[in-house]
Amino acid sequence: MSALSALLVRDVRIALRVGGGAMMGVLFFLTVVTLMPFALGPDLALLRRLGPAILWIGALLASLLALDRLFSADHDDGSLDLLLMGRVPIELAVAVKGLAHWLTTGLPLVVAAPILGLFLNLEPKAIAAVVLTLLVGTPALTFIGLVGAGLTVALRRGGLLLPVLVLPLTVPVLIFGVAASNAAVVGPVPFGTPFTILCALTLMSLVIGPFAAGATLRHGLE
Amino acid sequence: MELIGKELACTRGQREVFSGLDFRVAAGEALLLVGHNGAGKSTLLRLIAGLLRASAGTVSLDGGDPELSVPEQAHYLGHQDALKPSLTVTENLRFWASWLGDEAPALDAALEAVALAEIADLPAAYLSAGQRRRLSIARLVAIRRPVWLLDEPTSALDVASQGRLAELMAAHLASGGLILAATHGPLGLESARELRLGGRT
């Protein structure tokens, strides 16, 4: 088994075992979305109009939840030292860790979104649009988050600093994710316009995230 | 093969830990780093492992693989054991073996060497401190890398395990490897040289 696939299998396995926290994000997502109708009142038209935005905010906050342990768990038990001593560039290792993190926290959010969409009285077309934008957009959230996780790796209470660092950077993803979801239902711009920008944001974060996070890890050790 | 450090200096938090440090360790030799707490033993090992940057000087491995850097040819046994509590003993070892080396690792033989074969399927969360230490030593046996950087390798080990570690180190030296170890006590190695750090206090 090659080094990178071994790392992917290890991280996914740890997340799925007891205490791994793979389901935490989905539970948080469920809580946020089910609370919304209680706060907004039983206005079905309003829920339908706000639905895509609620789902996106919920997914954004849920994907930040497990991010602070992404590198700090490896830092605390000494694994990060050995990861840096492998024959694989740390940027690739970071990218694989990001992929494992997305598979265990981002992908479940995408899978849960259609059910939660029903809670918000979304029509099938809007649900399909939200799921598609989340599928494309959540990898961007994870890979932007890698940078924040790398910067806060050695801090004891980095979990508090992380959202402050990461949330501003995720604003473009949020804007175009919600814009594309709304465009699919109400227009006036075609769905493709904001959606292709969302795809571009994701592709950019997939490239920049691992390099930036790799650099922060190298410096963070000292 | 010879590990050579030349004119090494390291500064941490604006304090100079050491400077102008030279050492040479040839294949089959062990060099023990001794000195009081804070003398820079761990710092020197982390520096050779590529985990800290030297403010001056170089570390090179003569006769090593020219394609690989020194850290890529070294095993580092630090204060932490780098184990995941939710993975079993074998899973932990298999991951580090495939991360640190290319060849097919001898996992069973390595677990046998540190007397952990009987609990190979136990999650690492249930291991004692000494057993965790032995599992991280198994990493050094499973994957062959010529340079061993050991930071207090005998901590948490009982007498029998210390004896086994001494045998493993002797076998590594006999097969042409070299060892740098930071230690306060004897490691059970014959003919080991000492490098005293922190002469100035």
- Select the residue of B78, B80, B99 nearest A86 (Cβ to Cβ): B99
Yes or no, beta carbons of B72 and A87 under 8 Å apart:
yes
- The pLDDT, as a whole number, for residue B201 is 40
Residues of chain A with pLDDT under 50: none
Mean pLDDT of chain B: 85
Is B94 in the A-facing interface, judged by CB distances under 8 Å?
A: yes
Q: Which residues of A sit within 8 Å Cβ distance of B?
A: 1-3, 6-7, 9-10, 13-14, 17-20, 76-79, 81-88, 221-222
Each residue's pLDDT tens digit, B27-39: 888 888 888 888 8
Is B57 in the A-facing interface, judged by CB distances under 8 Å?
A: no
Half-sphere exposure of B80 (CA within 13 A, CB side): 15
Nearest chain B CA: its distance from A74 CA (Å): 8
Each residue's pLDDT tens digit, B121-135: 888 889 898 899 999
Yes or no, beta carbons of A13 and B87 under 8 Å apart:
yes
Nearest chain B CA: its distance from A104 CA (Å): 16
Yes or no, beta carbons of A10 and B68 under 8 Å apart:
no
Interface test with A, best of B12, B92, B98 (most A CBs within 10 A): B98
Q: Which residue of A has its CA nearest to B67?
A: A87
Interface test with B, best of A5, A8, A11, A79 (most B CBs within 10 A): A79
- The pLDDT, as a whole number, for residue B200 is 47
Phi and psi dihedrals of B195, rounded to 5? -120, 115
Yes or no, beta carbons of A17 and B81 under 8 Å apart:
no
- The pLDDT, as a whole number, for residue B100 is 86
Give the Cα separation of B88 and B135 in Å (integer). Answer: 11
Nearest chain A CA: its distance from B123 CA (Å): 11
Sheet with B193-196, edge to edge strand ranges? B74-77, B147-151, B178-182, B30-34, B193-196
Answer left, alpha or beta for residue B64, where phi above 0 means left and psi between -120 and 50 means alpha: beta
Each residue's pLDDT tens digit, A132-179: 999 999 999 999 999 988 888 877 776 788 888 899 999 999 999 999
Yes or no, beta carbons of B52 and A81 under 8 Å apart:
no
- The pLDDT, as a whole number, for residue A199 is 94
Yes or no, beta carbons of B98 and A18 under 8 Å apart:
no
Average of pLDDT values for B159-170? 88
Using an 8 Å CB-CB cutoff, list chain B residues near A76: 80
Yes or no, beta carbons of A1 and B80 under 8 Å apart:
no
Yes or no, beta carbons of B78 and A6 under 8 Å apart:
no
Residue with tokens 């440090």: B21
- Considering just the CA atoms, what is the radius of gyration of chain B in Å? 17
In the structure encoding, which two tokens stand for residue B92, read together? 């932990």
Question: Please, which residues have CB within 8 angstroms of residue A136's CB and are 6 or more apart in sequence?
Answer: A195, A198, A199, A202
Is B200 in the A-facing interface, judged by CB distances under 8 Å?
A: no
- The pLDDT, as a whole number, for residue A18 is 72
Average of pLDDT values for B160-183? 88
Interface test with B, best of A12, A82, A153, A218 (most B CBs within 10 A): A82
- The pLDDT, as a whole number, for residue B185 is 76
Q: Percent of chain B scored above 70 by pLDDT?
A: 98
What residue ranges define each of the domains in chain B, with the CATH number in brackets?
2-196 (3.40.50.300)
Q: Which residue of A has its CA nearest to B100?
A: A86
Give the Cα separation of A216 and A158 in Å (integer). Answer: 14
Confidence check: pLDDT of B73 > 70: yes
Give the Cα separation of B66 and B53 in Å (integer). Answer: 21
Confidence check: pLDDT of B199 > 60: no
- The pLDDT, as a whole number, for residue A114 is 92
- The pLDDT, as a whole number, for residue A88 is 87
